[in-house]
Amino acid sequence: MLKYIKKYWWAAILAPLFMLGEVFMDLMQPRMMSIIVDDGVLGLNNNGVGNLNLVIHTGLMMIAFVAIGGVCGILSGVFANIAGQNFGNDLRKDMFNRIMSFSFSQTDKFQTGSLITRVTNDVTQVQTFVQMAIRGFVRTFMLFIGGLICMLSLNLSFGVVIVISLPLIILCVIYFISKANPKFSILQKKLDNLNNVMQENVSGSRVVKAYVREDYEINRFEKTNKELVDTQLDVLLLLSFMTPIMNIILNYSVVAIIKVGQINVYRGVVTPGEVMAAITYVSQVLNAIMRMNMIFQTASRGVASWRRIKEVLDCVPVIRDGNFNGKKEARGKIEFDHVSFAYPTQEETMIIKDFSLVINPGETIGILGETGCGKSSLVNLIPRFYDVTAGRILIDDVDVRDYKLKDLRDLVSIALQKSEIFNQTIGENISWGNKKASYDEIMHAANISMASEFIDSKPEGIGTMVSQGGTSLSGGQKQRVAIARAVLKKASILIFDDATSALDLKTEANLYKNLNSEYPNMTKIIVAQRIASVKDADRIVIIEDGRLSAVGSHSELLETSGVYRDIYNSQLGGSKDA
């Protein structure tokens, strides 16, 4: 944590310094009150005659000290918040940056709901702990030490009470905190589960409604929420025993101070004012210990959250920059050299098996195959969403693992079947990968993707706001916006991963016609389920069970590939006229 707090060292130092000022003023009050009682009211040093001027003078000094202490307390709070809030801000940004560098497999490992909890709730818990450490711990520790010294300076006999009560309070704190500490990590995991359920239901609300599963999901949420509440109650009920027990010890300590004071007053060893001061000091000392209980709770929860944050910060990205610093002309050549691939969580199951293929610059390649044969997995290896298990992939004769990630992904533009649409305007969604694009460039990309057909019908055009997840657009409209975004990036390699599945054949045909006309030198890879989507490609690649089964043009594959003929016959009924 010091790594993040040292940037704001000045605030982290000023906060406890001003807190020392506030504590010092608090410790002065009982001593001054004893002067008012003994000399101002009882007149013990003036033959029993009180001194009103002393009462007024000392009272005004007490008010002034309270004011000074209040100013110190305010400034301490201000600087503690400056340090704590900036600490949390930097930590949250670093966590988000690290999450953005994760590969898909690492994101899947943590789960979305858990990552949200860690960036929000866990950072807040640690931030609260840091502020408590800067301010609350100093106040508590100084009140404890200062109150103890001041009380003993009145009369050493008062120390007997502390000697008896202090170990009891410390044992009480240790017992309850040791019992509660393991439960804080469980509590955060329960919060993870709740966020996961919430995230799934918000993003999948249409499916829930379509299958009339609202009651089921409500029950699932209630069950998860109950687990969270039960765990939280378990912690709070445990800790709720601690405060009453400590209050009992505190009150008995006050009674003991009064009794010891009574005995010493009769003996003439102490004065009534000093007994009153001792009562206040013992209250300050024992209250400091009770506040230490709250600090320990905050610290326990903060440390549990810090461990979860560290899991994210210490997770080294699997996909990292290569060492290639040279400049090459972007031509769009792609070579798969004996590529094999298995997902990190299923390393024993190869999805891609010894796949070799060279795609020439400017070539349009169609990829067909049955569901689950590895089509999407193959194209995900090109921009290094995952790394190959064996073999290598080269772009313009350089292994993709040697590229800087930014340089590599600048070469590739991709549109997916599930179009990711953001809560921005249509224009901002299209220009999302090219923020410097002008209005004309955005509209040009929209024309190529056939998105201008529905954009022009909207009163605000590309300025029309889109709801989160693109729910205000149809499936075909979302795909056309995503395709326009991919086109506007103007990369040398364009990948459509079943990105036209929601388009009718006429719109799809016009899209490919526009692409070939506008970007003849762009390498295009089209993953599709329909032969109609790829039949005009320069070559069509057939993947069967992760292996390259056949390559050729539409007419060539009809003659040489049984798999392609089967797909053709099932989709087009075997009629060449179709």
What tens digit of pLDDT does each residue of 454-464 get? 888 888 888 98
Average pLDDT over residues 227-253: 81
Answer whether 356's CB lies under 8 Å from 336's CB: yes
Query: Could you give the residue ranges of the DSSP H alpha helices within 36-158?
Result: 52-100, 104-110, 112-117, 123-131, 137-154
pLDDT digits (tens, 9 = 90+) for 509-566: 899 899 989 998 999 999 998 888 888 899 999 999 889 999 999 999 998 888 888 8
Strand ranges inside 220-283, DSSP E: none
Out of 238-242, 298-302, 362-366, least confident range: 238-242
pLDDT digits (tens, 9 = 90+) for 66-80: 999 999 999 999 999
Average pLDDT over residues 501-505: 85
Average pLDDT over residues 293-306: 81
Q: How confident is the model at residue 578 (pLDDT cuts 50, 70, 90)?
A: very low
Q: How confident is the model at residue 89 (pLDDT cuts 50, 70, 90)?
A: very high
Residue 489, pLDDT > 80, answer yes
Give 128's Cβ-side CA count (13 Å radius).
Answer: 18
Residues 6+ apart with CB under 8 A from 557: 540, 542, 550, 564, 565
Where do the domains of the chain lie?
2-313, 334-572
Answer whether 80's CB lies under 8 Å from 11's CB: yes
pLDDT digits (tens, 9 = 90+) for 189-210: 888 888 888 877 777 776 777 7
pLDDT for 316: 85
> 539 by DSSP, 3-state: which?
strand
- Structure token digits, residue 87: 């600490």
pLDDT for 471: 79
Burial of 313 (0-12, 13-18, 19+ CB in 10 A): middle
Report, at the CATH architecture level, how domain 2-313 is classified. Answer: Up-down Bundle (1.20)
Sheet with 547-552: strands ordered across: 412-416, 493-497, 523-527, 364-368, 539-544, 547-552
Q: How confident is the model at residue 573 (pLDDT cuts 50, 70, 90)?
A: low
- Structure token digits, residue 121: 């709730």
pLDDT for 117: 86
Average pLDDT over residues 14-28: 91
pLDDT for 336: 95
Average pLDDT over residues 214-224: 87
Q: Which among 179, 110, 135 has a CA at the least distance from the CA of 16? A: 135
Q: 175-200 burial string, b = 16+ CB within 10 Å, else e? A: ebbeebbebbbbbbbbbbbbbbbeeb
Q: CATH number of the domain at 334-572, please? A: 3.40.50.300
pLDDT digits (tens, 9 = 90+) for 385-432: 889 999 999 999 899 999 998 889 899 999 987 888 888 899 998 998
Answer whether 201's CB lies under 8 Å from 219's CB: no
pLDDT cut 70: percent of the chain above it: 98
- Structure token digits, residue 77: 């709070």
Taking residue 326's Cβ as centre, other Cβ atoms within 10 Å add up to 6
pLDDT for 145: 85
Residue 576, pLDDT > 60, answer no
> 327 by DSSP, 3-state: which?
coil
Residue 86, pLDDT > 90, answer yes
pTM: 0.72
Strand ranges inside 376-522, DSSP E: 390-395, 398-399, 412-416, 493-497
Taking residue 84's Cβ as centre, other Cβ atoms within 10 Å add up to 25
pLDDT cut 90: percent of the chain above it: 28
Better-scored residue on pLDDT, 368 or 301: 368
- Structure token digits, residue 386: 């995952």
Q: How confident is the model at residue 92 (pLDDT cuts 50, 70, 90)?
A: very high
